[in-house]
Amino acid sequence: MSDFFKSKTFTAVLFSIGAIVLALAVFQLGMFVGFRKAAFSFRWGEDYYRTFGGGRKPMEMGMKRDGLFDSHGATGKIIKITLPNIFVEGPDMAEKSVLVGDKTEIRRFRDELGPSDLKVGDFVVIIGVPNSDSEIEARLIRLLPPPPEFFPDAGMKIK
Amino acid sequence: MRQRRNRHRIIRVIKRNLPEREKHDTGFLNALFLRINKERQKRARVRFTCGAAVFLSSVTAFLPAVNLLRAELAASGFMEYIRLPFSDTRLIAAYWHEFMILLLESMPVLGMTAFFAAIFALIFSIGQMAKANAVRKVESL
C-alpha cells in the first residue's frame, strides 16, 4: 500500500486531479468576470438612447473586440459634463456614464479636487461600481496627462 | 557528461543481463553498441529538426504576437489601471475588490496568450535543439 503512494501512478493521478481543479477554478473565474461584463454591456446597450439621446446607434460605434465593456472602471477622455454625471470616451470608442458622488475622490498628482474642477478633454482613469442604470459609480477619479499615443489603433489623437 | 554516465550505466545493465556466451563475444557487443549509438544519433537528428522547425515558427509568430498584445493593451486601458496602486495605494487598498475585478475585466487575455505561447515555443525549441546537439556531440566522441 505504501509503495502505491510512492509510485509514479499515484503522482500522475494527483497531478491530474490538481490540473482539473485548477482548470475548473480558472473557468469559473472567467464565467464570473464574463457575466459581469456581459450584464453591464447589455444594460449599457439598453440605456444608450436614454443616456445619449438620438444620433449614433450602439452597433455603429467601434465596439471592443469582444463586444463587452469593463464594468468596474473607465479610462479615457471626458467628453461631456452634466454633474453629477460625466461621460468618458475610452480607446474602445465607447462612451460610459460615470456618476460622481459624495464618496468619489478626485485626484490630480497629489492634489484633491472637486467635481467642478473636471473639464471636458481631461484624461481620466476611474474605478467604481456599476449600478442598475448602466452607470459607473466612481470611487476614484485620477486625472493624468494623456499618454503620448492615446488611441493609436482607433486612429484618434488628443489635441 | 550526464549523457556519458547514462551510456555507461546502460552498457553495464546490458552486460549483466546478456547470456554467458554473448558476454565474452567482443564482436557481438561492439555491434550491439554501434547499433544503439546509431539509433540515438537518429533520434537526436529528428529532435533537432523538429526543434528547428518550431524555433523558426515561433520566431515568425513572435512579432505579430507582440503587436497584438500592444494593440490590446492600448485598447483596454489595462496599463493605466495597473499604475493606480503606485499613485493611490490607500484608495486601491480600500477598493481592492473593485480594482481586482477591473483588472480581470480589462486584461488582454488573447494578446497575452499569443505572446506567452510564442515565448514558450521559442524557449522549448531552443532547449530541444540544445539537448539533441549534446547527444550528437557525446555520441561522436
pLDDT tens, residue by residue, B29-44: 788 888 888 888 899 9
* All residues at 6 or more sequence positions from B41 whose CB lies less than 8 Å from its CB, including other chains: B135, B136, B139, B140
What percent of chain B stands above pLDDT 70?
A: 89
Cα B87 to Cα A70: distance, rounded to the nearest angstrom: 21
Cα–Cα nearest to B34, from B18, B50, B11, B12: B11
CA distances (Å), origin B45, targets A108, B55, B131? 61, 15, 11
Mean pLDDT check: name the lowest of A58-62, A72-76, B114-118, B130-134: A58-62
- Quote the cell numbers at residue B136: 550528437
Q: A interface toward B at CB cutoff 8 Å?
A: 29, 33, 36-37, 64-65, 70-76, 90-92, 105, 107, 125, 127-129, 139-140, 142, 144, 147, 149, 151-154
The predicted-structure confidence for A14-23, as pLDDT tens digits, reads as follows 889 999 999 9
Given the C-alpha cell 487598498, which residue does it identify?
B93
pLDDT of residue B16: 76
Q: Are A107 and A113 in contact (CB under 8 A)?
A: yes
Residue of A nearest to B75 (CA): A91
Q: What pTM, to 2 d.p., does this model score? A: 0.71
pLDDT of residue A7: 83
Per CB-CB distance under 8 Å, the chain B contacts of A125 are 77, 80-81, 84
Residue of B nearest to A68 (CA): B105
Side-chain half-sphere exposure of A71, counting CA atoms within 13 A: 24
Instruction: Please provide the average confidence, as pLDDT, over all residues in chain A.
Output: 79
Given the C-alpha cell 464594468, which residue does it identify?
A71
Per CB-CB distance under 8 Å, the chain A contacts of B102 are 70, 72-73, 127
Cα A13 to Cα A25: distance, rounded to the nearest angstrom: 18
Q: Does residue A62 carry a pLDDT above 70?
A: no
**Distance from A73 to chain B by nearest Cα, in Å?**
6
Query: Are B95 and A76 within 8 A, CB to CB?
Result: no
Instruction: Please tell me which residue, B132 or B15, carries the higher pLDDT value.
Output: B132
User: Domain residue spans in chain A?
Assistant: 1-159
Residue of A nearest to B80 (CA): A125
**Nearest CB to A72 within list B80, B91, B101:** B101
**Nearest CB to A75 within list B72, B80, B104:** B80
What band does A50 get if pLDDT is binned at 50, 70 and 90?
low
Cα–Cα nearest to B51, from B137, B135, B110, B124: B124
Q: What is the mean pLDDT of residues B55-70?
A: 94
Per CB-CB distance under 8 Å, the chain A contacts of B68 are none
Cα B110 to Cα B78: distance, rounded to the nearest angstrom: 13
What percent of chain A stands above pLDDT 70?
A: 77
- Quote the cell numbers at residue A80: 461631456
Q: Does residue A64 carry a pLDDT above 60?
A: no
pLDDT of residue B140: 57
Q: What is the mean pLDDT of residues B15-26?
A: 71
Q: Does residue A68 carry a pLDDT above 80?
A: no
CA distances (Å), origin B130, targets A17, A108, B41, B136? 33, 53, 14, 10
Residue of B nearest to A130 (CA): B98
Query: Are B74 and A144 within 8 A, CB to CB?
Result: no
pLDDT of residue A48: 65
CA distances (Å), origin B47, targets B52, B55, B104, B124? 9, 12, 39, 12
Given the C-alpha cell 529538426, which residue does it identify?
B49
The predicted-structure confidence for A94-146, as pLDDT tens digits, reads as follows 888 999 998 899 999 888 999 999 999 999 999 999 988 888 999 999 998 87
Q: What is the mean pLDDT of residues B73-97?
A: 89
**Distance from B140 to chain A by nearest Cα, in Å?**
34
Q: Does residue A58 carry a pLDDT above 60?
A: no
Instruction: Please provide the average confidence, as pLDDT, over all residues in chain B.
Output: 85
Mean pLDDT check: name the lowest of A27-31, A140-144, B94-98, B132-136: B132-136
Residues linked to residue A82 through DSSP beta bridges, in sequence order: A85
Instruction: Compute, in degrees rounded to 10, the torsion defined by CA atoms B103, A43, A84, A52.
Output: 120
Percent helix, percent strand, percent coil in chain A, to nearest 5: 35, 30, 35
Q: Are A70 and A97 in contact (CB under 8 A)?
A: no
Query: Are B98 and A139 within 8 A, CB to CB?
Result: yes
CATH topology for the A1-159 domain: OB fold (Dihydrolipoamide Acetyltransferase, E2P) (2.40.50)
Cα–Cα nearest to A134, from A103, A102, A94, A81: A94
